[in-house]
Amino acid sequence: MSVRSQVLVCGGTGCTSSGSIKLIDEFENRIKEHGLENEVEIVKTGCFGLCALGPVVIVYPEGAFYSMVKVEDVAEIVEEHLLKGRIVQRLLYEESVHEGSDEIKSLNEVDFYKKQHRVALRNCGVINPEKIEEYIGRDGYRALNKALKEMTPQEIIDEIKNSGLRGRGGGGFPTGLKWQFAANSVDDQKYVCCNADEGDPGAFMDRSVLEGDPHAVIEAMTIAGYAIGSNQGYIYIRAEYPIAVQRLQIAINQAREYGLLGKNIFESGFDFDLEIRLGAGAFVCGEETALMTSIEGKRGEPRPRPPFPAVKGLFGKPTLLNNVETYANIPRIILEGADTFASIGTEKSKGTKVFALGGKIHNTGLVEVPMGTTLREIIEDIGGGIPNGKKFKAAQTGGPSGGCIPAELIDTPIDYDSLTAIGSMMGSGGLIVMDEDNCMVDIAKFFLEFTVDESCGKCTPCRIGTKRLLEILNKITDGNGTMEDLERLESLAEAIKAGSLCGLGQTAPNPVLSTLKYFRHEYEAHIVDKTCPAHVCKGVAKYEIDADKCKGCGLCAKQCPVGAISGEVKSPFSIDADKCIKCGACMDKCPFKAISK
């Protein structure tokens, strides 16, 4: 069937949450109504990346990029654009149109996409992830064919080694070496696992790959199985990602039907199959030994290494474990060769990295950039800067294991080593932007609350140490901190890093240490001046009434639950700081905005 127009509707979690599935129904109805069903095809794709403007619809061949489309807009798009060929200007994403004319730019010219380089995300937002034919149409499973027919397992491993690919889950361990270790282990049974337990808050790279291009991961895991000598794989994925789980299951079923999973793949005599295992909401299960313990059906607690998983992993057998994004790069490396891949990026960090841009930034969404791109390029050029005219204060990478990068280091190139050198880390790819309204002590506290909650409790430094760190932070934000507390934070943090069993505890103090390093003055403001410079921490807030703005209506005094506000009607009121419990009720009620904190 040849169609004259294609309507691509984003079916990623972001756009689905803002109603894209209803759009698809409406498009189907309207298109039928006008008898266009043989001329226009509707494609539900994975994430386009520009989640901030969702739901996103792209109509080809024109490439019209419609953003924030509502169900009510669909009739107009169908009647005007699809029926009469007149693009609906008012719905176009303004960046996608040439200034001063109505001409549409190609996506590569739009600021958001211009500096991106899509390798892992190459099919996301392009194909329908629920149709294996579309993946195959984009060179899908050709890498597997090449690997099985033309390459020996060792040649595959050498190719991965030469590509310089490093683990995209955060640690950055050379992927080829990992494969070599697993291949070198001798046993009657080995396993290939995929870590899709993306637990970092604010990170959704792996989810988007699985939602937008699940076959890439299946293909890569099958190649890995052949390379290390394994015929069984497990994908461990968060139960919080229902759409990804569903698409992955559809993809596995289709791959089995096509003989791309199962017995005798491509008549090569090689067997491989995959199973999905759902996580159940435990952050620590992103750690490799904990993840395998969880697949075994137990409490997901980590265990000491060595033995490493490549020697003794899942069910006591040699196991290869990589992250989703790492796998998504594999088919390209096999197909295009290690050199092509290694030509992207920096000397020690090859290829690209996907980031989930979030927080105080215009273009929240998913971006993939060559390693070595600076933070400034990501935030200003791709991300479109900070909204509401606010000032950039810091970017947080690496989630609860990472640190904050202050504004003065905005020109830092993003690669494994540069980030580690400034006290943060690559992490899995969450990149949260903060402006002057965010308190850095509060952010450190936020991450500590997370790790205290998620510490599995097996080892003491992490279980008790993180709790004590949090208590000191609470003391500071409540206005009861002393300067000695800062030293205590530092020495405790070092002890936790040195003494914890797994990566969770070893990195848990990083948010505290990095904010102490770059934003020590904010800690000191809480301790010495008893104020929160960003006006976030309630414990040190001081509520005051501006006598010039106050009209003396007395509403605030009526609202105050502890009778801390007094005054004469029609003359300025005042707050008794000793009685005030800093609830903020007066501020919410004041009709003249005369109360500040």
Partner 1 sequence: MAIPFKGTKEQEAKLMEVIAAHKDEKGATIPVLHEAQEIYGYLPIEVQTMIAEGLDVPLAEIYGIVTFYTQFSLNPKGQYPIGVCLGTACYVKGSGDILEKIKEILGIDVGECTDDGKFSLDATRCIGACGLAPVMTIGEHVYGRLTVDEVEDILKKY
Residues that bind partner 1 (CB under 8 A): 13-14, 16-18, 50-52, 54, 198-204, 207, 239-241, 277-283, 294-300, 315, 356, 358-360, 364-365, 396, 399, 430, 432, 434, 438, 443, 446-447, 456
Helix axes 175-184, 214-228, angle to 10 degrees: 40
> Smallest distance, Å, CB 519 to partner 1?
15
Residue reference for tokens 């007094």:
566
Residue number with CB closer to partner 1 (199 or 331): 199
Residue number with CB closer to partner 1 (210 or 221): 210
Residue number with CB closer to partner 1 (137 or 457): 457
Query: Phi then psi for 77, rounded to 5 degrees?
Result: -60, -40
- Residue 335: closest CA among 571, 145, 101, 539: 145
> Smallest distance, Å, CB 19 to partner 1?
9
> Smallest distance, Å, CB 236 to partner 1?
10
Residue number with CB closer to partner 1 (21 or 36): 21
> Smallest distance, Å, CB 489 to partner 1?
21
> Smallest distance, Å, CB 35 to partner 1?
34
How many Cβ atoms sit within 10 Å of the Cβ of residue 347?
Answer: 11
Residue number with CB closer to partner 1 (11 or 300): 300
> Smallest distance, Å, CB 447 to partner 1?
8
Q: Containing H/E element for 107? A: none
Residue number with CB closer to partner 1 (78 or 282): 282
Residue number with CB closer to partner 1 (2 or 388): 388
Pinpoint the alpha helices (H) of 126-241: 132-137, 142-150, 153-163, 175-184, 205-212, 214-228
- What does the alpha-carbon distance between residue 506 and residue 73 come to, in Å, rounded to a whole number? 51
User: Does residue 511 contact residue 402 with C-beta atoms inside 8 Å?
Assistant: yes
E strand spans, 398-518: 403-406, 430-435
> Smallest distance, Å, CB 320 to partner 1?
18
Residue number with CB closer to partner 1 (295 or 594): 295
> Smallest distance, Å, CB 388 to partner 1?
12
User: Does residue 386 contact residue 432 with C-beta atoms inside 8 Å?
Assistant: no
Residue number with CB closer to partner 1 (381 or 436): 436
> Smallest distance, Å, CB 369 to partner 1?
18
Helix, strand or coil for residue 368?
strand
- What does the alpha-carbon distance between residue 312 and residue 533 come to, in Å, rounded to a whole number? 51
> Smallest distance, Å, CB 8 to partner 1?
17
Query: Phi then psi for 431, rounded to 5 degrees?
Result: -135, 105
> Smallest distance, Å, CB 396 to partner 1?
7
> Smallest distance, Å, CB 222 to partner 1?
20
- What does the alpha-carbon distance between residue 507 and residue 497 come to, in Å, rounded to a whole number? 6
Angstrom distances, CA of residue 274 to CA of 212, 222, 461, 580:
19, 9, 37, 61
Residue number with CB closer to partner 1 (134 or 198): 198
Angstrom distances, CA of residue 399 to CA of 241, 355, 456:
19, 12, 18
User: Does residue 274 contact residue 218 with C-beta atoms inside 8 Å?
Assistant: yes
CA triple 415-224-286, angle to 5 deg:
55
Query: Phi then psi for 274, rounded to 5 degrees?
Result: -130, 150
Residue number with CB closer to partner 1 (16 or 418): 16
Q: What is the amino acid identity at position 104?
A: I
User: Does residue 276 contact residue 235 with C-beta atoms inside 8 Å?
Assistant: yes
The burial class, CB within 10 Å (0-12 / 13-18 / 19+), for 158 is middle
Residue reference for tokens 């953003």:
67
Residue reference for tokens 């017995």:
263
- What does the alpha-carbon distance between residue 14 and residue 366 come to, in Å, rounded to a whole number? 10
Residue number with CB closer to partner 1 (245 or 260): 245
> Smallest distance, Å, CB 50 to partner 1?
8
Q: If you count them, how many residues does the chain have?
A: 597
Residue number with CB closer to partner 1 (429 or 481): 429
> Smallest distance, Å, CB 370 to partner 1?
23
Residue number with CB closer to partner 1 (367 or 564): 367
Q: In what order do the strands lie in the sheet with 392-397?
A: 365-370, 352-359, 430-435, 392-397, 403-406
Contacts of 29 (CB under 8 A, 6+ apart): none
